[in-house]
């Protein structure tokens, strides 16, 4: 693709354009595009982007050595025989250039964006299941991975950088994908990763405290999420069709409803005015069942997912599929076929009659929702293992500590990606508002496993998980919260392999061998 074509298509973004005075080719052929200098190929265009930890402008020389024939940057550059362009914002330029280079793939498929604090991943899995049941070819881009057909790839960010995102969409289109379901994070919105993406449907799940290390306060966090509906959903070639699916059980959902510029579908588990509402719902350890009303129509449903939060997720997915014209029969099939979701109340098998789960709950609302769900079903104690991430929102730590103490019987406080922080400092933050409870209920060692209420501190997460299995009794619920599907633990500058599920599985095997359970 000629560089002049990219310039022409993205003209509004340029602050000014200049060319080094030389006999160089004025309009190079661009064979590839890059924002990581080490990946540049001969004939490639390099876009210098400022990141959190490094600045692409510091790697321009490396990109040139790798064979870049053109550079886009935020400062004036003059290199002999190289075409250089200055722009105000290279992130915006990267999104536009990437979309043009990959032939605007989002305009050629149905795009569903899912945003909110909790529930995004689960909704993508339910939608994927329904679309499969309806005979479509879905692709998913989200927290756990990005995938289509039989292809599964690791994902570094919930919402990839714009260049990576456009490339993924292009590959999906080439492979025959008809619908793409994209988790839209607040970082993805704020950093322009979804610029130049045309969405057909936007789903709002809920909003609760998270990412305040980045957004600073809840108002800014909400305004960021709101922009997805007021800026992105109503922009581009699909704006006349675009629909917003809003969960009005959430207070911020109700607030958002008055600002959305596109047509809306509301969902609720309790509000009879909602377009889509559930009723006669049964919720137990085996899952959810009941009825869903879509305006004048209603149907029964069954799901192996459990908890009110998953009922809200099912309704959101139903709303999107209703907009797409998918039949009730296929919606029912898809809901029923969606089984366990990795790291979302994922069950760890055992023969010792314990209920052992791993869940991604890492926000106050998510932790409370999961623990409330389990509390309703508890035949015995709830043993919780959890921590809070380092170098992230400190304000939520003590809130989560109080939730843990309120809803669990034994709370084992441990590490969860401490990063550059001291794990003990994080644990102290978690316990900050529990000083009186800690004085009364702190467990220094488990002399017997029959303790009914207590707080145990174990910074080593592996030891904490093993301890939970060791002290748990038949009918106890053991829940490891925070990491879910993740397979890494970040300790200072080191990243090690760590999977709660594998640790718990091994601990269960060893426990059953040691106790002679068969």
33-47, 78-92, 116-130, 457-471: range with lowest mean pLDDT: 78-92
In the predicted structure, residue 261 carries a pLDDT above the cut 80: no
Q: Which residues of 83-104 are buried (b: 16+ CB within 10 A; e: fewer)?
A: bbbbbeebbbbbbbbbbbbbeb
Q: Taking a C-beta distance cutoff of 8 angstroms, is the pair 448, 486 a contact? A: no
Task: Cite the DSSP H helix spans in 409-452.
Answer: 423-430, 435-441
In the predicted structure, residue 20 carries a pLDDT above the cut 90: no
CA pair distance 216, 424, nearest whole angstrom: 24
Confidence of residue 179 (pLDDT cuts 50, 70, 90): very high
pLDDT tens sequence across 273-328: 999 999 999 998 889 999 999 988 999 999 999 999 999 999 999 999 999 999 99
Confidence of residue 213 (pLDDT cuts 50, 70, 90): confident
Return the ∠ at Cα 471 (arms to 468 and 477), rounded to 5°.
Answer: 60
Which position has the token pair 């722009």?
87
- State phi, psi for 507 to the nearest 5 degrees: -65, -40
pLDDT at residue number 18: 45
SS3 content of the chain, % helix, strand, coil (to 5): 35, 25, 40
Confidence of residue 416 (pLDDT cuts 50, 70, 90): very high
pLDDT at residue number 15: 54
Q: What is the DSSP string of 306-346?
A: -SHHHHHHHHHHHHHHHHTT--HHHHHHHHHH---BTTBSE
Mean pLDDT computed over 143-155 = 95
Six-digit token pair at 325? Answer: 């014209």
Q: Residue 218: helix, strand or coil by DSSP?
A: helix
Mean pLDDT computed over 159-186 = 97
Task: Cite the DSSP H helix spans in 79-119.
Answer: 90-101
pLDDT at residue number 268: 98
pLDDT at residue number 12: 67
Confidence of residue 210 (pLDDT cuts 50, 70, 90): confident
Of residues 176 and 26, the one with the higher pLDDT is 176
In the predicted structure, residue 413 carries a pLDDT above the cut 50: yes
In the predicted structure, residue 223 carries a pLDDT above the cut 50: yes
Mean pLDDT computed over 31-45 = 97
Average pLDDT, the chain: 93
In the predicted structure, residue 23 carries a pLDDT above the cut 60: no
Mean pLDDT computed over 119-146 = 98
Q: How far lies 430's CA from each of 390, 401, 405, 414, 464, in Å?
A: 12, 5, 11, 10, 16
The pTM is what? 0.93
Mean pLDDT computed over 354-358 = 97
Q: Taking a C-beta distance cutoff of 8 angstroms, is the pair 112, 181 a contact? A: yes
Q: Going from the N-terminus, what domains does the chain have, and what CATH number goes with each? A: 3-96 (3.40.1390.10), 105-337 (3.40.1190.10), 346-515 (3.90.190.20)
Smallest CA-to-CA distance from 194 within 122, 91, 124, 103 is with: 91
pLDDT tens sequence across 425-482: 999 999 999 999 999 999 998 877 789 999 999 999 999 999 999 999 999 999 999 9
Mean pLDDT computed over 483-510 = 97
Confidence of residue 139 (pLDDT cuts 50, 70, 90): very high
pLDDT at residue number 348: 97
Q: Taking a C-beta distance cutoff of 8 angstroms, is the pair 354, 472 a contact? A: yes
Q: Which residues of 480-491 are buried (b: 16+ CB within 10 A; e: fewer)?
A: bbbbbbbeebbb
- State phi, psi for 80 to the nearest 5 degrees: -55, 135
Smallest CA-to-CA distance from 140 within 436, 153, 346 is with: 153
pLDDT tens sequence across 380-412: 999 999 999 999 999 999 999 999 999 999 999
pLDDT at residue number 465: 98
Mean pLDDT computed over 88-104 = 95
- Other C-beta atoms closer than 10 Å to the C-beta of 235 total 16
CA pair distance 164, 431, nearest whole angstrom: 40
Confidence of residue 19 (pLDDT cuts 50, 70, 90): very low
Of residues 239 and 316, the one with the higher pLDDT is 316
Mean pLDDT computed over 209-223 = 85
Residues of the chain above pLDDT 70, percent: 97
Residues in the chain: 518
Return the ∠ at Cα 191 (arms to 187 and 193), rounded to 5°.
Answer: 90
Residues of the chain above pLDDT 90, percent: 83
């Amino acid at each position: 693709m000629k560089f002049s074509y990219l310039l022409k298509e993205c003209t509004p973004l340029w602050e000014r354009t200049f060319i080094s005075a030389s006999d160089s080719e004025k309009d190079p052929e661009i064979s590839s595009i890059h924002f990581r200098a080490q990946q540049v190929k001969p004939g490639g265009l390099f876009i210098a982007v400022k990141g959190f930890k490094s600045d692409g402008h510091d790697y321009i020389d490396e990109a040139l050595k790798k064979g870049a024939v053109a550079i886009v940057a935020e400062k004036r550059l003059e290199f002999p025989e190289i075409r250089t362009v200055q722009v105000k914002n290279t992130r915006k330029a990267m999104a536009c250039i990437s979309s043009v280079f990959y032939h605007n793939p989002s305009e050629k498929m149905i795009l569903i964006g899912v945003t909110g604090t909790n529930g995004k991943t689960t909704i993508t899995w339910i939608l994927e299941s329904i679309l499969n049941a309806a005979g479509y070819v879905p692709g998913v881009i989200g927290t756990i991975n990005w995938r289509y057909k039989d292809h599964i790839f690791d994902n570094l960010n919930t919402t990839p950088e714009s260049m990576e995102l456009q490339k993924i969409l292009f590959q999906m289109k080439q492979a025959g994908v008809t619908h793409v379901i994209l988790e839209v994070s607040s970082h993805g919105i704020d950093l322009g990763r979804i610029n130049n993406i045309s969405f057909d449907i936007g789903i709002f799940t809920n909003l609760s405290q998270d990412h305040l290390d980045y957004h600073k306060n809840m108002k800014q966090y909400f305004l960021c999420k709101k922009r997805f509906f007021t800026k992105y959903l109503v922009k581009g070639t699909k704006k006349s069709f675009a629909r917003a699916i809003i969960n009005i059980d959430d207070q911020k959902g109700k607030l958002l409803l008055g600002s959305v510029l596109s047509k809306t579908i509301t969902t609720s588990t309790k509000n009879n005015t909602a377009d889509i509402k559930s009723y006669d719902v049964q919720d137990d350890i085996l899952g959810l069942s009941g009825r869903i009303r879509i305006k004048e129509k209603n149907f029964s449903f069954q799901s192996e997912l459990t908890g009110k939060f998953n009922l809200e997720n099912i309704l959101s997915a139903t709303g999107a599929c209703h907009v797409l014209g998918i039949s009730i029969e296929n919606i029912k099939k898809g809901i029923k076929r969606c089984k366990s979701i990795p790291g979302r109340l994922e069950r760890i098998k055992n023969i010792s009659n314990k209920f052992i789960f791993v869940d991604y709950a890492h926000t106050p609302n998510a932790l409370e929702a999961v623990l409330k769900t389990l509390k309703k079903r508890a035949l015995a104690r709830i043993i919780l293992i959890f921590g809070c991430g380092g170098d992230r929102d400190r304000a939520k730590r003590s809130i989560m500590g109080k939730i843990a103490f309120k809803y669990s019987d034994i709370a084992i406080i441990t590490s969860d990606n401490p990063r550059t922080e001291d794990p003990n400092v994080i644990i102290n933050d978690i316990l900050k508002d529990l000083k009186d409870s800690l004085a009364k209920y702190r467990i220094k060692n488990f002399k017997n496993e029959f303790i009914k209420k207590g707080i145990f501190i174990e910074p080593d997460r592996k030891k904490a998980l093993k301890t939970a299995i060791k002290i748990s009794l038949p009918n106890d619920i053991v829940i490891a919260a925070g990491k879910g599907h993740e397979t890494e633990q970040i300790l200072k500058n080191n990243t090690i392999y760590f999977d709660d599920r594998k640790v718990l599985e091994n601990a269960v095997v060893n426990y059953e061998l040691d106790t002679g359970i068969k």
